[in-house]
């Protein structure tokens, strides 16, 4: 017997095509999509407005299978983190951050990460594989279910004029484990589901993709599914960024800034958010701040300064609060909107840069690191 097709792997166009191959009309695909995503249904028999004959056919050929939570941790500040089983001894993490006026879900795109940024816990685990579209959108599906989210009629709007599904989760950020643009096709399928009124109906302004700077994929995203963009910057010059964010060796800052300017031609927001982790004595001096001002002078942007969240054997320390305030002040005085991210969920290792999950490393990064240390000795 063939393995059932997981319908969470399809955006609306993909699902319509799959139904058409079986002689079904497009409206049937949209009916099933609404049941799956807006109402969190996994049993075809419960889809009461779908023809019984189609329900029987779907039960034989398909399934709706989100990732399963194997650990559910809640921080003292209300941040909630799930460890999600994605098979073959791999697990990824998703984090929900509740705030007064919004609820933000941070989701993962890969089991591990191949980019090996120096200050990131995820990157130190190595890389196993890309997540499927079902495993990516399934994080939103599952979080919405576990948080008790509900759906309201299509077309409802929130206070900002954006589509409002009545869900606890109002914003999604692709800032979890992995580099989203290194898993482009599956990420875009998931993004389209987040935006589709038959699924989650989120505004493009409320969905953010964070990238370390894969320039060709940034250009593709601009053309195929422009959402809000965040760039993990972390350094004002190529020499330092080469060390902290190794992908910079392939796509240096001049190319990255040009890609940001191109992206803004189609972006739903009129600025790029630059993420900048504050590392004591590494990238946090007044000179670094002034260099940043010069670097982004032609890129409409805001800065999100992130106090470094320690993890074992990281080799870095968090910048002191006064140093962060002074650094932010230089950016603000130059007319750049600058915020300092409040650390959330660090007591359950859910803060930015701490997500580690469980990865069966195919890059053999630990072996390579030991060999490198032996060679230097």
Residue ranges per domain, the chain? Answer: 5-63, 68-376
| Mean local confidence (pLDDT), 241-267 | 97
- The reported pLDDT for the residue numbered 261 is 98
Q: Identify the bridge partners of residue 232 per DSSP, sorted by sequence position.
A: 275
pTM of the predicted structure, to 2 decimals: 0.88
Is 120 noted as a catalytic residue in this protein?
no
Question: pLDDT-based confidence at 183, cuts 50/70/90?
Answer: very high
Average pLDDT score over residue span 219-242: 98
Question: Quick check: 360 and 90 in contact, CB under 8 A?
Answer: yes
Residue 154 in this model has a pLDDT that exceeds 50:
no
The domain over range 5-63 is classified in CATH as 3.40.50.2300:
no
Of 310, 303, 307, 309, the residue nearest 319 (C-alpha):
307
Which one of 3.20.20.70, 2.40.50.100, 3.40.50.300, 3.40.50.1980 gives the CATH number of domain 68-376? Answer: 3.20.20.70
Residue 100 pLDDT class (50, 70, 90 cuts): confident
Residue in 113, 117, 260, 352 annotated catalytic: 352
Is residue 21 flagged as an active site residue?
no
Write out pLDDT tens, residues 317-366: 999 999 999 999 999 999 999 999 876 545 555 444 444 556 666 665 54
Cβ atoms 8, 189 nearer than 8 A: no
Q: With 50 as the cut, is the pLDDT of residue 153 above it?
A: no
Mean pLDDT on 299-312: 93
- In the set 93, 135, 179, 275, the catalytic residue is 93
Structure tokens at 51: 């023809």
């Amino acid at each position: 017997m063939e393995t059932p097709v997981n319908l969470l792997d399809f955006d609306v166009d993909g699902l319509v095509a799959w139904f058409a191959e079986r002689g079904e009309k497009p409206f049937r695909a949209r009916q099933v999509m609404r049941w799956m995503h807006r109402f969190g249904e996994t049993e075809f028999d419960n889809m009461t407005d779908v023809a019984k004959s189609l329900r029987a056919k779907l039960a034989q050929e398909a399934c709706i299978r989100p990732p399963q939570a194997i650990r559910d941790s809640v921080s003292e500040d209300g941040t909630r983190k799930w460890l999600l089983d994605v098979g073959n001894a791999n697990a990824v993490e998703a984090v929900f951050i509740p705030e007064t006026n919004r609820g933000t879900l941070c989701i993962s795109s890969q089991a591990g990460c191949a980019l090996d940024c120096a200050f990131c816990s995820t990157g130190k685990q190595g890389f196993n594989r890309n997540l499927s579209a079902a495993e990516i959108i399934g994080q939103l599906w599952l979080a919405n279910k576990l948080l008790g989210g509900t759906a309201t009629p299509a077309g409802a709007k929130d206070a900002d004029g954006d589509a409002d599904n009545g869900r606890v989760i109002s914003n999604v950020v692709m800032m979890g484990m992995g580099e989203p643009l290194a898993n482009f096709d599956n990420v875009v399928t998931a993004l389209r589901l987040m935006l589709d009124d038959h699924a989650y109906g989120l505004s493009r302004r409320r969905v953010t993709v964070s990238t370390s700077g894969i320039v060709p994929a940034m250009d593709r995203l601009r053309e195929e599914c422009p959402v809000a963009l965040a760039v993990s910057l972390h350094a004002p010059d190529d020499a330092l960024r080469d060390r902290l964010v190794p992908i910079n060796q392939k796509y240096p800052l001049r190319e990255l800034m040009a890609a940001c300017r191109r992206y803004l031609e189609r972006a739903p927001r009129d600025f790029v958010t630059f993420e900048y982790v504050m590392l004591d004595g590494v990238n946090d001096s007044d000179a670094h701040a002034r260099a940043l001002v010069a670097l982004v002078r032609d890129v409409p942007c805001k800065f999100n300064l992130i106090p470094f969240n320690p993890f074992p054997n990281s080799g870095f320390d968090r910048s002191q609060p006064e140093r962060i305030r002074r650094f932010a002040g230089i950016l603000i005085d130059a007319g750049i909107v600058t915020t300092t991210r409040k650390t959330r969920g660090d007591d359950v290792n859910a803060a930015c840069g701490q997500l580690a999950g469980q990865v069966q490393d195919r890059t053999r990064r630990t072996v390579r690191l030991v060999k490198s240390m032996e060679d230097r000795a």
